[in-house]
Structure 1
Amino acid sequence: MSLRLGLCGLLLAVSAQAADLLTTPESANLLRKMGAAARVLNYSGVYLYQHTDMLETFRLVHAFDAGGEQERRESLDGVPREFVRLNDQITGYMPDAKPMVLDRRAANKFFPGIIPDQIIDVLANYNFKRLNTERVAGYDCQSILLEPKDKLRHPHKLCVEPNSGLMLKSTMYSPEGGGALEQFSFTQLEIGGPIDKRALKSVLASRALPADPPGRASNSAPMPATDLAQFDTSNLPNGFRLVKEARSAMPGKRQLVQHFLYSDGMVTVSIFIEPAGNGPVTLPLAQGSSNISFFSRQVDGWRITALGEVPLRTVQLFAQSFSPR
């Protein structure tokens, strides 16, 4: 296994050395084309999601018309799960569970989508290099390496169908050349043509529990707020910007948890701040061997936890950047 991963990293490095460096305008145009393709094309197929030692299969149907963007994806392995999109809103369904509503940012991160409003961030943090041509799900596609400009993020390799601009495969690698950490790849795909509207309708909605009325939390008991105005940030990792801030109730927590979401245009890092006694820590204090790294520390009665799709050193820097006044 280690030999295979080592060879994978070596091949990626060799390919990168022989690659053509894209100019900034070429890289920006590619990102715009990929973003538009994922949003406005009709397509349907099956894709694999692989991370660490787990492999999941999803069926995806996507359509665009005068009413906007519609999509349905369902898991084909394990517990039935379903995600139904209407423009910028995605609702997740599971049997005997309440629906989950995801925001626009989560919607744009669903494969094969990208975040179209953060092209400048991606260009600032990665160099684009043209690699070889591959074949994915019966289509020729152009491989593009996104090489980080520092050691705070992972390399990514994208494979893009040249005519449509649709991303057919996405791989995130360890920066040490240790192989793939995460991969999405179509195994079956049809681009274009009409989409049967019945294929976009939810199957699991009728088996889900009733959703909470608007404005009412799932736990009706009030939770005391956490005073987080006393925190400062300094020396945040370069290339990341704050894109969302919220207070949330989390399972097993007695008080609300403050959530800060940072992004470099390709990946995200979450910072959670809570009182140290606010329920158990559900994650190890530090881990960096999977596609998600996380690090937690306690200071002056507070617990600060950072996790994201970045090297361990990056989440450590984020956690250490937050300090009480």
Structure 2
Amino acid sequence: MKLRFGLCSLLLVVSAQAAELLTASESVNLLHRMGMAARSLNYSGVYVYQHAEMLETFRLVHAFDASGEQERRESLDGLRREFVRTNDQIVCYLPDSKPFVLDRRAANKFFPGVMPDQAADVLSSYAFKRLDTERVAGYDCQSILMEPRDKLRHPHKLCVEPSSGLLLKTTMYSTGRREPLEQFAFTQLEIGGQINKQLLKSVLASKALPLEMPATPAGPRTAPVVSPELSTAQFVVDNLPGGFRLVTETRSQIPGKSAPVLHYLYSDGMATVSVFIEPAGNGPVSLPLTQGTVNFFSRQIDGWRITALGEVPLRTVQLFTQAYSQR
């Protein structure tokens, strides 16, 4: 497996050197087609998800009609899991557990719908290059390299079925040695045709406990009790890594913490970074420096702990923590 991936990495570097650069218009059209295909086509198949030394397999059935999207995916190995989708809502079922609802951002990032909502965010940070044609799950597909314009994010290689625009395979590589960090790829796939509605219904729902809805977003009546230090804290943000913009700002209660923390979510359209701010004595930092494809960094200033994590290089999360200072 490592030898095969090493060869793929070498071929990626060689191909990228002679790749054809896509124009901005071509790049936008590509992202639009991929997004539309993932949402509006009928398709079913099996795909694999590989990260670090782990390999997981999922069966996926996706349908689209006048009422919108319906989808069901289930794990075929490891812990039994099931994800049932109705438009932007995805309910996750586990055996003998309470099902729970994932938020809209999670719904938009499920393979093969891993493309951004705003193409402009991506084009400012990545260049698109056309590589060779490959073959995935019995389909010819066009390989596209998303080359970062700096070293603060990872390269991605996409493989797109030309007729439908459906993403068949995506690989995220390390910035330096170009080793694969994460990969999604169909191994079996049928595009088009009618989908049996019975295949979209949950199998685990009848065995699950009552549905657990997500917490209501914080507001004047629902905001958690915040420590005096956190409620009066003011921070200045300067010199954030280029291309990232603030998506959400919330107060969150994290297990193991005595009080809520401030949570800032940033995105460049492809990668996301979370920044957490809390009093230094609000409990231990339990995450490792690197966990799978996620890098983590934490620093303390003036009695505060600032933590950043995301699927980006370690240098990027370090820069996020350094961008914050107390006013």
Q: TM-score normalised to the size of structure 2?
A: 0.92
What does residue 93 of structure 2 align with? Answer: 93
Q: Which amino acid counterpart does residue 19 of structure 2 have in structure 1?
A: A
Q: Which amino acid counterpart does residue 76 of structure 2 have in structure 1?
A: L
Mapped partners of 1:189, 1:17: distance in 2: 31
Residue pairs, 1:174-323, within 5 angstroms: 174-212=174-212, 223-225=225-227, 226-227=230-231, 229-284=233-288, 286-287=289-290, 290-323=292-325
Q: Secondary structure of the equivalent of 1:78? A: coil
Mapped partners of 1:193, 1:8: distance in 2: 33
Mapped partners of 1:302, 1:173: distance in 2: 34
Mapped partners of 1:214, 1:118: distance in 2: 25
Shift in Å, 1:152: 0.6
Cα deviation, 1:228-253, whole Å, max 9, x if unaligned, reads 64122111000011112222222212
C-alpha distance 25-213 of structure 1, shift in aligned 2 (>3 A): closer
Query: Is there any run of 5+ residues in structure 1 with no aligned partner, and where?
Result: none
Could you tell me whether the CA contact under 8 Å between 2:119 and 2:269 is conserved in 1? yes
Mapped partners of 1:75, 1:319: distance in 2: 36
Mapped partners of 2:215, 2:105: distance in 1: 21
Q: TM-score normalised to the size of structure 1?
A: 0.92
After superposing on structure 2, the runs of 4+ consecutive aligned residues of structure 1 that deviate more than 6 Å are: 213-217
Q: Secondary structure of the equivalent of 1:227? A: helix
Shift in Å, 1:53: 0.6
Shift in Å, 1:32: 0.3
Cα deviation, 1:126-182, whole Å, max 9, x if unaligned, reads 111110111000110000000011111111000000000000000000111241000
C-alpha distance 3-161 of structure 1, shift in aligned 2 (>3 A): closer
Cα deviation, 1:279-306, whole Å, max 9, x if unaligned, reads 221202x33x842111111222222111
Cα deviation, 1:34-87, whole Å, max 9, x if unaligned, reads 000000000111100001111111111111101111111111111111111111
C-alpha distance 148-48 of structure 1, shift in aligned 2 (>3 A): same
C-alpha distance 301-139 of structure 1, shift in aligned 2 (>3 A): same
Q: Which amino acid counterpart does residue 313 of structure 2 have in structure 1?
A: P
What does residue 220 of structure 2 align with? Answer: none
1:170 aligned onto 2:170: yes
Percent of pairs with identical residues: 72
Could you tell me whether the CA contact under 8 Å between 2:172 and 2:180 is conserved in 1? yes
What does residue 124 of structure 1 align with? Answer: 124
Q: How large is the Cα RMSD of the aligned pairs?
A: 2.1
Mapped partners of 1:216, 1:21: distance in 2: 44
Could you tell me whether the CA contact under 8 Å between 2:101 and 2:213 is conserved in 1? no
Query: Is there any run of 5+ residues in structure 2 with no aligned partner, and where?
Result: 218-223
Q: Secondary structure of the equivalent of 2:35? A: helix
Mapped partners of 1:114, 1:228: distance in 2: 38
Query: Which is worse superposed, 173-182 or 244-253?
Result: 244-253
What does residue 81 of structure 1 align with? Answer: 81
Shift in Å, 1:116: 4.4
Could you tell me whether the CA contact under 8 Å between 1:228 and 1:258 is conserved in 2? no
Residue pairs, 1:150-161, within 5 angstroms: 150-161=150-161
Shift in Å, 1:216: 7.9
C-alpha distance 301-208 of structure 1, shift in aligned 2 (>3 A): farther
Q: Secondary structure of the equivalent of 1:31? A: helix
Could you tell me whether the CA contact under 8 Å between 1:295 and 1:306 is conserved in 2? yes
